A and B are shown apart, each in its own frame.
Chain A
Amino acid sequence: MKQTPLLELKGITKTFGDFTANDSINLKVYRGEVHAVLGENGAGKSTLMNIIYGIYKPDRGDILLSGQSVKIQSPRDALRHGIGMVHQHFMLVGMYSAIENVCLMGEDSALSLTNKKKTEEKLNELKKRYGIEVDLHSPVEQLSIGMQQKVEILKLLYTGADVLIFDEPTAVLPPQECDALFDVIKNLVRQDKGVIFISHKLEEVLYISNYITVLTKGRITGQIHTEEADKETIVRMMVGEDVLPPDFAARRAVGTPGPVVLEGEGLYARDDRHVYTLQGVDIQIHAGEIVGVAGVEGNGQVELAEVLAGVRKARKGGRVKIDGQEVSTKNARAFIDNNIAYVPADRNYVGSVPDFPLYENWILRNNHPPMKGPFLDYGEIRREAENAMKSYDVRARGVEERSANLSGGNLQKFILARALEKHPKALICEYPTRGLDIKATWFVRDRILRAREAGMGVLMISGDFEELFSLADRILVLYGGKIVGEVRPETTTVRKVGMMMMGVNGHESD
């Protein structure tokens, strides 16, 4: 039906010790096609791309370019074969302009003026051909992230790349710049380039790709033309079973909120750079409700959570009350003793000490760990940790395992178990499912709902609309450190909340 594929992988296998990162992967990328590789964190996407890009050598298998078998030894080799990769972290020199960055790629001296002129001409031509709008002369560090990404793309096109690999390109972009990226990608395939698009976001894969390969635990668990695919089919491919996503929203309808358990009045706070990112917020969290907080990152939501969790000082006379009693935000221990549980955004350095074994991390944020006389009762601590790990399905080699060795999902389950095991009055969680795979995400969401059902007051900061809309009883939108709106998910839309997050009042735009 089609010509020979531009790039073909045959039986690529790569192992690291006992761990099989890629198991006989076959895939074909044709000209004029966006081939999406979809998989959760740790599914082996990055390993596979690094093999194509010459960073790793496969244990077995062949890479064919236009039907010819090739050995790719290094990224330079890959570029010579016409394979280019747009990394998540851009490979650009910040002080240099786009032109100078491109010159750095070439064999000729980057300092020569004539080369610069030639490069500029060629770049302008490329810009026109692929419809990429970008400033070639300013230092790239002054450009927005989206623009820098375009410089990367131009750089690869300049070197003559035919296959462009995008490694989670939207992870770093604000929503409005994603559309611009998709336009560029569409132009690329229209001009007969081949694109590999790596992502773990279903929606964008369905939107942009022509063909989808689903990778799970290093193996291909599904390959499908995008026009034949829908969300459910793909989720089934990823999860590997016939499970439907649980209906969280239905559970929200049950129960009525109780009295206020946690309350903030006139909260101001500075972030670590001493900038006031929280500018006067009043908030009440009732027992048995989930209060979602939406906002573009850096608009004070993390500081809000930290003040309410007692780990950041409230300034300008802001007050926090637990069960109606005022508690000084200078005293983190008082919050712990009052049973305010906290699941921070940074699991590795805040929620746990990376070098500690799990059983030692079990008694973090705990003023009254099991004691035997004057000493810590490690026997009991281990037992507690073991039991919790069992009931929260934390997969680790045991309580001796260092927490740094746990995957994100398992560590998050562990931290959640630690927080909930003490039956807190209130649970504060920041980005509870960020970076987790689907199953772990469902697990965490289920436990948060259970916490609500058990009568805890929950504050949930999230960047995930699906999460906010399916879990929260009400959503507060933060912008510029202030609450600019409070909505109920049943009566609003993602678009409206998105507008509010950008500081546009929902009513004015209507």
Chain B
Amino acid sequence: MKAIDSMRSGALLRRVGIVLLSVLAALALGAVFLIILDVNPFTAYYYLLVRPFSSLNSIGEMTIKMVPILIVGIGVSFTFQTKLSNLGGEGQICLGAIGMTLVGTSSFAQAVGGWYIPVGMLVAALFGACWAGIAGFFKTRFKASEIITTLLLNYIAVQLLSWCVYYPLRDTAGNIPQSAPVAATLPRLIDGNRMNLGLVIALVCVLVYWVVMKRTKFGYRLRVLGGSIKAATFGGISKKKYYLIVMLISGAFAGLAGSIELAGTQTRLLEGLAGSYGFDGVVASLLGMMNPLGVLLSSVLLGALSIGAETMQVRTGVSSLFLNVLEALIVLFILLGFSFFGSGSRRKSKKEKEGE
């Protein structure tokens, strides 16, 4: 949390510098592994980082991966602003997807076609919010660490989703454990490209986040709470209330991401739908330092990496799991970077004291 603290303060240039250097350092260390595997790191990194942007088609694929990461990341950023964490993106995505399936396969959806989508998204957001709200409730009522509870709720949600596709929501037409397809998928933005409306929604989320945090009383209160709990009490800002609200918001975003993944990409509820989006969202938020533009850019990077990893595996034989190594290294270097060189680091604070 200390590292997150220093992410919120200090000169922008310094912070951006730390993040960029961390990414470079992670790539450099990753290159060592690649060399050990006897793979030319430049070739591997070409497929990983450059190739995803080489055609409109692959950019479309990239956005499909990026959208859930971005939306979850925005939700996580809300919690980070108050210095809470939400590591339960995965579970909240599952719940959102279940909500979307319930609406999308209902007779109501059959009747109205594509118009079910906004209703489904609303329900999905509600489901996600409730799921995260459980953690929020335990946090405010019993002071249970939301890091633990959100994490544990993931396992329950994943099992819940499995149960849904095996029993109540199972498509009786087939033998595979999956639900029936939803009545309509998200409209595509360009013909022949898988890029869909989810991208627009994700960008709207970024905008909403930016406006709320910078311009509204509500966002101001969240930032006060993150800046100093005692100052929040002084200012009449109820810690419990806003902790709960921010968990609900965060869950709603993840739920929304789940509904987009379902209606835009998968079209049916099936196991493993949440993928690694939950944690990728956390990484995106950290990497982007909770800054709207930063989260957007990091989501693009993470989306591209996950597309690129598959290409890389096919072309060079390096397992796509290499991506996990790379992401872990990035997070590690960022945390180290902020601990040692961020504005809150010991070296710096001593210097600041000297001025007295």
Is the beta-carbon distance between B231 and A369 smaller than 8 angstroms?
A: no
Given contacts A332-B236, A376-B217, A376-B220, whether A19 and B230 have CB atoms under 8 Å apart is no
Q: Which of B211, B231, B355 has the most CB of A within 10 A?
A: B231
Q: Chain B residues with Cβ under 8 A from A17's Cβ?
A: 355
| In the complex with contacts A16-B355, A369-B217, A376-B220, A356-B236 CB distance below 8 A | no
A360: chain B residues at CB < 8 Å are 220, 223
A19 touches B355 (CB 8 A): yes
CB of A469 within 8 A of chain B?
no
Min distance, Cβ B211 to any Cβ of chain A, angstroms: 8
Say whether A365 contacts B355, CB under 8 Å. Answer: no
Q: Are B230 and A350 in contact (CB under 8 A)?
A: yes
Q: Which of B209-260 contact A (CB under 8 A)?
A: 211, 215-217, 220, 223-224, 227-228, 230-231, 233-238
CA distance A371 to B218 in the complex (A): 12
Contact indicator A42/B227 (Cβ below 8 Å): no
B356 contact from A42, A350, A375, Cβ within 8 A:
A42
B191 at the A/B interface (Cβ < 8 Å)? Answer: no
Check if A464 is an interface residue, CB within 8 A of chain B.
no
Kindly name the residue among A19, A47, A353, A354 whose own CB sees the greatest number of chain B CB atoms within 10 A: A353
| B354 touches A (CB below 8 Å) | yes
Contact B235 A364 (CB under 8 A): yes
Is A221 close to B, CB under 8 A?
Answer: no
**Docked-complex contact B356 and A310, CB < 8 angstroms:** no
B9 within 8 A of A: yes
Q: Which residues of A contact B236 (CB under 8 A)?
A: 310-311, 332-333, 335-336, 365, 367
In the assembled complex, the CB of A442 is this many whole angstroms from the nearest CB of chain B, namely 22
Flag A318-346 by CB within 8 Å of B: 1 or 0 each.
00000000000000110110000010101
User: Given B8, B216, B233, which contacts A355 in the complex, CB threshold below 8 Å?
Assistant: B8
- Interface size (A, Cβ < 8 Å)? 37
Chain B 315-356 against A: per-residue CB contact (8 Å), 1 yes, 0 no?
A: 000000000000000000000000000000000000000111
Cβ contact within 8 Å between A344 and B220: no
Interface class of chain B by DSSP: helix
Contact A376:B216 (CB < 8 A) given known A354-B228, A356-B227: yes
A16-B354, A46-B356 are contacts. A353–B233 as well, Cβ < 8 Å?
A: no
In the docked arrangement, what's the CA distance between A375 and B208, Å? 13
- A333 and B356 alpha carbons, distance in the complex (Å): 36
Are A353 and B227 interface neighbours, CB within 8 A? Answer: yes
Q: Determine the distance from Cα of A152 to Cα of B77 in the docked complex, in whole angstroms.
A: 49
Of the residues B215, B233, B354, contact of A375 by C-beta under 8 Å: B215
A375 and B216 within 8 A (CB): yes
Residues in A whose Cβ lies below 8 Å from that of B217: 369, 371, 376
| A374 close to chain B: CB less than 8 A | yes
**In the complex, which residues of chain A have a beta carbon less than 8 angstroms from the beta carbon of B223?**
353, 356, 360
Closest CB in chain B relative to A215 CB, distance in Å: 14
The CA-CA distance from A336 to B223 in the complex, in Å, is 19
* Residue with the highest number of chain A CB atoms closer than 10 Å, among B230, B234, B237, B355: B234
Bound CA span A205–B297, Å: 61
Q: Type the 1/0 row for B1-32, where 1 means its CB is closer than 8 Å to any CB of A.
A: 00000001100000000000000000000000
Task: Return the chain A residue nearest B351 by Cβ.
Answer: A16
Looking at the assembled complex, report how far the CB atom of B213 sits from the nearest CB atom of chain A, in whole angstroms.
Answer: 11
Q: Identify B231's interface contact among A46, A335, A350, A374, CB under 8 A.
A: A350
Smallest distance from the beta carbon of A208 to chain B beta carbons, Å?
A: 25
Q: Nearest chain A CB to B143's CB is how many angstroms away?
A: 13
Is A351 in contact with chain B by the CB < 8 A criterion? Answer: yes
Contact: A353 with B238, CB < 8 Å? no
**A 347-383 binary contact with B (CB < 8 Å = 1; else 0):** 0011111111000100111110101001110100000
Q: Chain A residues near B211: list those with CB within 8 A.
A: 375
Complex CA–CA separation, A369 to B235 (angstroms)? 12
Neighbouring B residues of A16 by C-beta, 8 Å: 354-355
Which of B227, B233, B356 interacts with A311 by CB under 8 Å? B233
Which residues of B173-231 have CB atoms within 8 Å of chain A's CB atoms? 211, 215-217, 220, 223-224, 227-228, 230-231
Q: Please indicate the chain A residues that have their CB under 8 angstroms from the CB of B227 in the complex.
A: 353-356
> In the complex, what residues of B have CB within 8 A of residue A402's CB?
9
Chain B residues packing against A (C-beta within 8 Å):
8-9, 211, 215-217, 220, 223-224, 227-228, 230-231, 233-238, 354-356
Known: A346-B230, A353-B224, A356-B223; 19 extra A-B contacts, CB below 8 A, are: A16-B354, A42-B356, A310-B236, A311-B236, A332-B236, A336-B235, A336-B236, A349-B228, A349-B230, A351-B234, A352-B231, A355-B9, A360-B223, A364-B234, A374-B216, A375-B216, A376-B215, A378-B215, A402-B9
The 8 closest A-B pairs by CB, nearest first: A353-B227, A332-B236, A375-B215, A333-B236, A350-B230, A365-B235, A364-B235, A355-B9
Binding site for B on A (CB under 8 A): 16-17, 19, 42, 46-47, 56, 310-311, 332-333, 335-336, 342, 344, 346, 349-356, 360, 363-367, 369, 371, 374-376, 378, 402
Task: List 21 A–B pairs whose Cβ atoms lie within 8 Å, in order of A's numbering.
Answer: A19-B355, A310-B236, A311-B233, A311-B236, A335-B236, A349-B231, A350-B231, A351-B231, A353-B224, A355-B227, A356-B227, A360-B223, A364-B235, A365-B234, A366-B235, A367-B236, A371-B217, A375-B215, A375-B216, A378-B215, A402-B9
